[in-house]
Amino acid sequence: MRVLRTPEARFENLPDYPFEPHYVAVDGGRLRVHYLDEQPEESAASGETVLLLHGNPSWSYLYRHVIPPLVEAGHRCVAVDLIGFGKSDKLADRFAYTYERHLGWLREAVFDRLDLREVTMVCHDWGGALGLPLLAAHPARFRRVVATNTGLSTGDEELGAGWPLMAAWLQSSQRTYPFEPSTIVDAFTVTGLDQAVLAAYDAPFPDEPYLTGIRQFPLLIPISPQDEYTPALRAAWAVLEGLELPFLCAFSDQDNVTRGDHSALSGRIPGAKGRAHPTITGAGHFLQEDAGAALATAVDDFIRSTVKEHSA
């Protein structure tokens, strides 16, 4: 694999992103994964670890307004950049990105290298499409989950009214040139974003060869039962449908993708049933931009309300 690494100069002076970078090596040492690891003062620590997973085409920058209030509440926050995104390495060959490899890289980074345990996972967009199979494969590593504007498709679902949006995204992700990730974030948020913030979403991608991960992700979403990943994802669902782990859906009211409907998760996962799932209001698909503090509050409230539940 030809590996590309975004020059550090691209990440200088990003707005509201003062966090210290950390790195681990995966895939036999060939690839470098970037992550944030923000921790509270020892005297204020809750003992909880929150793993924050981004989707496409964002990176850990998406969580810059979610992390500080969670750390202030006493929680350790680990935010990983998936391979192909953020400060993590990128691959020049788009076909080197597969569902299986993405899962392997993520598992190796957070479990084999960081040895995270008793995790509260917050997963968004593709962060859920990877994080939920990771949960199914390693449920003992997790305490609870907060899913936000995400899902886990197997290809068995009826696309129905959502097909035009899916088709438009599939086509635009392949045809648009030049491709600027910031235009996607800007289009799927409610609030206006400063130019410096938009530039931060483009920072990891100096030119076309760095964008292969973004372009390949949409093509990995199963859209029929004949998809090569369908059997593995069905197997993940077989575990999730028996999982009593505390599970919360915190979807936003103005998400063009889910339209606030989390029933595909909350209606199937036992740990989600009977809970009051909050709706994050005044927020689009990238709700971390529109309502980061509100999402942090929802996560903190869920952690605190389920501490005894986990102990039991």
| DSSP calls for 126-185 | HHHHHHHHHHHH-GGGEEEEEEES-----S-S--GGGHHHHHHHHHHHHH-SS--HHHHH
CATH code: domain 3-308 is 3.40.50.1820
Which residue among the candidates 75, 227, 285, 300 is catalytic per the annotation? 285
* 202 is known as an active-site residue: no
* 22 is known as an active-site residue: no
| Cα dihedral across residues 240, 242, 246, 251: positive or negative | positive
Whether the pLDDT of residue 261 is over 80: the answer is yes
What pLDDT shows up at residue 310? Answer: 61
Whether the pLDDT of residue 117 is over 70: the answer is yes
Q: How far apart are CA 30 and CA 1, in angstroms?
A: 9
Tell me which residue has tokens 């990983």. Answer: 80
* 285 is known as an active-site residue: yes
pTM higher than 0.85, yes or no?
Answer: yes
Residue 308's pLDDT band (cuts 50, 70, 90)? confident
pLDDT digit string, tens, across residues 198-214: 999 999 999 999 999 99
DSSP state of 85: S
Q: How far apart are CA 121 and CA 112, in angstroms?
A: 17
Tell me which residue has tokens 């920072």. Answer: 203
Whether the pLDDT of residue 22 is over 80: the answer is yes
Tell me which residue has tokens 């996607």. Answer: 184
Which residue among the candidates 81, 89, 125, 186 is catalytic per the annotation? 125
CA distance to 194, 273, 291, 311, per residue, from 144 (Å): 34, 13, 22, 12
pLDDT over 70, % of the chain: 99
The rounded mean pLDDT for the chain is: 96
> Among 174, 184, 129, which Cα is nearest to 154's?
129
Whether the pLDDT of residue 312 is over 60: the answer is no
Mean pLDDT to the nearest integer, 95-121: 98
pLDDT digit string, tens, across residues 157-203: 987 767 888 889 899 999 999 999 999 999 999 999 999 999 999 99
DSSP state of 236: H
pLDDT digit string, tens, across residues 30-44: 999 999 999 999 999
Mean pLDDT to the nearest integer, 132-139: 98
Which residue among the candidates 89, 255, 290, 300 is catalytic per the annotation? 255
